[in-house]
Amino acid sequence: MNDDTLSWPGTMRIVDRTDDLSEPDPLYSFALDELLCRQAGASGTAFCHLWRHPSAFVMGQRDSRLPHAADAARWVESQGYQVAVRNSGGAAVPLDPGTVNLSFILPKEDGADAHFRRDFERMYALIREALAFTGCTVDKGEIRGAYCPGDYDLSIAGRKFCGIAQRRQLRAYAVQAFVVAAGRGADRTRLVRAFYERAALGADPSAYPQVTDGSTASLEELAGLGPDAAHTFADAVKRTIGRLQSAAGTPLSACDAELPPPAEVRAAAASLRARYPLRA
């Protein structure tokens, strides 16, 4: 681990909520990221937040402005998903217990926003290192036809399994990755494509991702992690952070910071929903 993108904060706290599927609101976890960002900016403490959601469809802000986004969202809800618009970058992603969401929440080192690519590289480097035990090569770069496309699509053998976005505050920022760990990538791809077929009727094709079959797969499919791939991946991330913490001279510990109470997080989630509405 000599890559300088793996330089590590002196202190990082793990907030592992991968086994807490009790919150129905998908914006709860995004709101918790917002509140942890405020803590990071005030205290200088970094966090790693791992979480899953039982069944959600989270749109990007650009998706929410498509001509028939509200009608498409109602169709997605009829398929059993909670629908929300997130405050970070990127386009629509489905969330389920097979998808692990990973947030690095870091205080800004110099108060500037000039290093966002370095921060994306840091996330890429961590995920690549966490998956080294599989023997698979993790590549970065946009995968044509994948949902939520971007320069920091992470892929194995040409198929995407992870996307990375960010959210920045005045004194801290969150780098957020969704990792398709277990299940079938094709099922998620079909859902996202069906959403755009409904939401984007009459829209310029450049206004939304052109999602195609065969573009996205899970780590279960690509790296042979098995049906419990979500836990296997989350555990690998925590082990990797532990090694990095030890190398930095700071032992890894579970989060001993005082987390915001659930009522405060739910209030923050309601604020996000009001700020980033789904337009009728």
Catalytic residue among 136, 148, 162, 255: 148
User: Of the candidates 97, 7, 20, 17, which has an alpha carbon nearest to the alpha carbon of residue 55?
Assistant: 97
Q: What is the pLDDT of residue 92?
A: 97
- What band does 88 get if pLDDT is binned at 50, 70 and 90? confident
Which sequence spans correspond to the domains of the chain?
4-275
Average pLDDT (44-70) is 95
Average pLDDT (57-72) is 96
Secondary structure of 71-136 in HEC code, one letter for each residue: HHHHHHHHCCCEEEECCCCCCCEEECCCEEEEEEEEECCCCCCCCHHHHHHHHHHHHHHHCHHHCC
Query: Is the pTM for the entire model greater than 0.85?
Result: yes
Residue 210 confidence (pLDDT) above 80: yes
Residue 116 confidence (pLDDT) above 70: no
Q: What is the pLDDT of residue 231?
A: 97
CA-based R_g, the chain, Å: 18
Average pLDDT of the chain to the nearest whole number = 90
What is the DSSP pairing of strand 139-140 with strand 56-59?
A: unpaired
User: Of the candidates 133, 156, 29, 139, which has an alpha carbon nearest to the alpha carbon of residue 84?
Assistant: 29
Quick one: residue 105, left, alpha or beta (phi over 0 = left, psi -120 to 50 = alpha)?
beta
For the segment 171-189, what is each residue's pLDDT rounded down to a tens digit?
888 999 999 999 999 999 9
Residue 279 confidence (pLDDT) above 80: no
Q: In CATH, what class is 4-275?
A: alpha beta
- What band does 146 get if pLDDT is binned at 50, 70 and 90? very high
For the segment 3-34, what is each residue's pLDDT rounded down to a tens digit?
444 566 667 899 999 999 999 999 999 999 99
Residue 114 confidence (pLDDT) above 80: no
Residue 81 confidence (pLDDT) above 50: yes
Average pLDDT (72-98) is 95
Residue with the bigger pLDDT between 112 and 148: it is 148
Q: What is the pLDDT of residue 167?
A: 87
- What band does 1 get if pLDDT is binned at 50, 70 and 90? very low
Phi and psi at residue 94, to the nearest 5°? -90, 145
What is the DSSP pairing of strand 12-17 with strand 46-51?
A: parallel
Kindly give the residue spans of alpha helices, DSSP state H, lying in the chain.
Answer: 27-43, 69-78, 116-130, 185-199, 219-223, 229-247, 262-275
In the residue annotation, 255 being an active-site residue is answered as no
Q: Are 177 and 102 in contact (CB under 8 A)?
A: yes
